[in-house]
Amino acid sequence: MEKEDFVYVEQTKGVNGLDKVILREVRDFSAEVYLYGGHVTSWKNEHGEELLFVSNKVFAFFRKMPSVSALITLCY
């Protein structure tokens, strides 16, 4: 992929229809952040290895609740 065609920020829907952004870097680093509350749910290195542990309980919470405001905010 050419550098000028590379998508650095992608806004999409996540669990329970909540808005999130996926941030990418040309060397394949990435992060996933939910906009409501700034919750980081993924952080991957250049090898695509997940560096952030997010329990399945967190994603179960996303599915049951209309918002994620009760989670710990990692990004301000």
Q: pLDDT for 6-29, tens place per residue?
A: 889 999 998 888 899 999 999 989
pLDDT digits (tens, 9 = 90+) for 50-70: 888 776 666 665 665 554 444
In a domain, 76, yes or no: no
The reply to whether 73 falls in a domain is no
- Could you tell me if residue 51 is inside a domain? yes
Q: Please give the pLDDT value at position 3.
A: 64
The answer to whether residue 43 is domain-embedded is yes
Q: What is the pLDDT of residue 65?
A: 55
Task: Confirm whether 20 is domain-assigned.
Answer: yes
Separation in Å, CA 74 to CA 3, 4, 38, 59 = 30, 30, 7, 16
pLDDT tens digits, 33-44: 988 778 888 899
Residue 36 lies in a domain: yes
Span 69-75, average pLDDT: 48
Domain that holds residue 52: 9-64
Closest CA to 14 of 34, 31, 36, 30: 34
Give the predicted TM-score (pTM) of the model: 0.68
Number of independent structural domains in the chain: 1
